[in-house]
A = this chain, B = another copy of it.
């Protein structure tokens, strides 16, 4: 199920670097939609408030060099970045938890645009199983996860369940063979070493802003 390793030097790249590549990709997609065929690192940096030297360094690392007087070819660079990020194949996503957040994510067109296909929602509530989201994503019984993961080749699970169910559901997800989890629940999940978890907690972000508004500032990290 895992794609063959990219021929680009994907092995020694940090997560911060891939995050920047994602940002470049998003900017190039916008430029392409605006009709741009080429862009310089300087212009890319100015339009999107990035660092031109960092852009050149990041792209040179992957063997992508701008052309003097032209810059980068938008479409070519986009294709190259998608390849490095493993987006040159469609990635199927399953969302666990068909509550409001799960359904909002299922219907969010931004994912599909970037090549992620939301294949299915999963829930354990009788009233929800068998239904579908507004955009037509089917809701299956979470106990059938393993079956659907195989059949629909789902490789990424999004966790949108209550906090108290998070670890239990994560265990089910891992047992179904999933190696990548986007976690919308608070707290830490315990998973095997070969499984990657990325956490997103919207309320924690808002509460951090609330604390800032109440107290005016943060101390430096005191860990």
Contacts and interface: CB of A to CB of B under 8 A. Distances in A.
Interface residues of A, number: 85
A22 B213 contact: no
Given A49-B188, A219-B14, A93 B206 contact: yes
A53 to B, nearest CB: 13
A152 interface: no
Interface stretch (A65-73, A122-130, A143-151, A156-164): A156-164
Contacts of A12: 219, 222
Contacts of A107: 100, 104
A145 to B, nearest CB: 17
B210 A16 contact: no
A213 to B, nearest CB: 5
Contact of A111 (B26, B180, B203): B203
A106 to B, nearest CB: 10
Given A16-B221, A18-B218, A108-B104, A200 B203 contact: no
Nearest to A221: B14
A211 B104 contact: no
Given A10-B211, A86-B211, A198-B205, 18 more contacts: A10-B215, A12-B222, A13-B218, A14-B223, A22-B186, A22-B203, A27-B163, A48-B163, A85-B211, A100-B108, A104-B108, A108-B202, A111-B206, A114-B203, A116-B206, A155-B213, A196-B209, A196-B212
